[in-house]
Each structure stands twice: as structure tokens, then as C-alpha cells.
Structure 1
Amino acid sequence: MSLAVNLLDRLPRALHSLATPPPGLGWNHAQLIDLLPDQGRSLRQAAVLVGLVDRGAGPQVLLTRRTEALRLHAGQISFPGGRIEDSDASPIAAALREADEEIGLRAPLAEPLGYLDPFVTITGFHVYPVVARVDAAFVPHIDPSEVAEAFETPLEFLLDPANARTFEVEYRGGKRTLIEFLYGDHRIWGATAAMLVNFRERLERT
């Protein structure tokens, strides 16, 4: 039986509890310490929503393609999300708010299930990925100032290690190994791909 098929049975053991955000600097912090501002001491807090939509063919992962006009991560594939504001009660509240603002996902249609491991980005963010079940009735209504497209990718495809390709880039004086998924016309790479690999590894450990 595939990971995607029995996913709901394994998720409670694979995810961090909703009760409190998982501690730590981020599972990849040591890998990026030489690239982070102030050596990672002043990272901005952010949250993203890893939405799982239950479809007849199996769970789908909700993703967006950012507009080309954004200052950070322009044109990249990402989860809905952004910076945690002072008004947000928790990373969960921030992820839900951002998903509402970016793709029109109202809170009643998203059921948070737990956290993946925190992640840091070279743009200076400490990110809490919040996994949530999304109602199949959800229809995206995107904010065109931030999102060019919202789409779904089969979770089973993203959980298959054979589909996680590695490649190297030269960046700031060193070689960096990154991960990418190629699905249709979409290239899912960088932080989003790394969080998906973290999702798979946490499931595998259960």
C-alpha cells in the first residue's frame, strides 16, 4: 500500500502536535548558516499551509505559482503562506490567514493536522509548515498581485523518492545541492521541494 493511500492513518504519528510550534532553529539551519543574515540570529518568522485535498484518485497537494512581480521568490512554486504578523495568534493562524488572502481558502474549509519540521530560507525566514486537510469543495480565488496560478499535484507523486531529483548550483562561492520535482509544466524546487522531502521522511519514520 502506498504512503498516499494510508496517509491519514499515519499522519498523527508523523507530524508535530498542533498544541505548540515545534522548537529548534530549523532542520536545515546548519547547512545554510554561512548564507543567513547575521548568521541566522535574526530570522523573520513565517508560516505556510501544506494543504491536502482529498480527491477520488488520492490526496492532492495544493500549490501556487508566485507572480513575476514579487520581490522575493518571484515566479516560483510555493505553498500559500508568508510572514507571521503581530496580530496572528500562532503560526497556524498565520498560515490560514495567508491562504485566505492568497487563494481564497476560508478557514472552515481547512482543518490543521500538525506541523512539519521548521525550515529556514536563504532569504532570512524561519518557516513553520502547517499540514492541513482541505475540503474537496474548495475552489481557488487567487489574489493576482501575489499568485499567478493555484494548482494541485498528486501527493503520491511527491512522496516517491524517484521523483525528487537533485542538482547542484554555484551560489556565493560554494556548490549547493538542491531538490526539484518536475510535474507537467511545473518545476517545484528550493524550499518547497525540501519541505516535501521532509514530509516524506517523517512519514517514512512512522
Structure 2
Amino acid sequence: MHFDYYTTASVDFISLDEATFRSIIQHPDLTVTSEERVLNAILLWCMQAKELYGWEVVDELMIYSTPELHFGERLQLVNDLLPFVRFPLLPYALLKKLEKSNMSRKISIFDHLVKEAINYVESGLARPENEQNVRFQHRRSSFKELQYICDGDSNGVLYFAGTSYGEHQWVNPILAKVNVSLFSLS
């Protein structure tokens, strides 16, 4: 239920054993704001990262090196865990970036999954054989619906988003890369 928070607040999840991490990643009730978070968590866990970063940093590391160097003994787990990312649910623009990435050139399963997702999105149709495939189904979202009360409200929408649901000191949600969608029902 709190996957986003625990995989973006610290790297403590890196110390989870394989069975626990795998059961979280493949759990049917995994709640996330984006499949990109799942991708990042898998890459960080497999690299046994010492700090938090996204797939872009992993991709830069791959420019002059090999997956074996960065993933070491967990390289096979990269191949085993990447299929749990629901690539077809990623934004098309991101899929196109991933298609041109170093990871796509150097990790064959990654390349296959990204191309499959692009083909799925470009076809625009839910093919009958894919309807039962879990990789094409949306997960539960951790988005919260909040109401704006008044200007300066320290318990308002932006305050709530900027404190990760009141868990830490306020950080500008834009700087923390929190997606905030506001609309008015006037």
C-alpha cells in the first residue's frame, strides 16, 4: 500500500531479501502512482544502490560499462523481475526514451518489454489475448483525492503532498517530483 513512499524515502528497501522483494513486486494489490516507480525500485534493488536515483542514472552508468558490472550477482534477477513492470501503462513518450536507452541496448529482456509495450500502445487496441495478461492491467493507485479549503491552509492539498501525507517536513512537491493535478469544480 505504501510502495511509493518506502521506495523513494530511503534505500532501506534494498536490504530486503529476494523472496520478500519479489513478493512485494508481484503482489496483486501493489499500490503505486506510476509503473516508473516499480522500474526504479527493481533497478535500485538489483544494483544494491547506496542512494536513491531513477532509471536515468542507471542508464547513464551503462554508457561505458556493462550490466554485469552494475548488477553483479543480481543480474539474473533483473531478467526475472523486469517483467513485473507493467511497461504498457507507462506514458508513450517515456517508452520512446526507454527504447533509445543504453539499458535497452544492453539488456535484452528490457528491450523486448519496451518494444512490446510500444507496439501495444501504438496498436491502440486491447488484443483479446492480452486482456487476461496482468502486465496490461492497471494497478491500484496511491493517488489521494483532497479538497482545497482556503489560501494559506497548512493542511491543504499542497501541504499534504509536500509532506508525504504528513510524514516529514514540507518540501515543494514540484522539486520533489511529486505529480500534483489540481482542478476546479466551479
Q: So what's the TM-score if we normalise by structure 1?
A: 0.24
More strand by share: 1
TM-score, length basis structure 2: 0.26
Structure with greater proportional helix content:
2
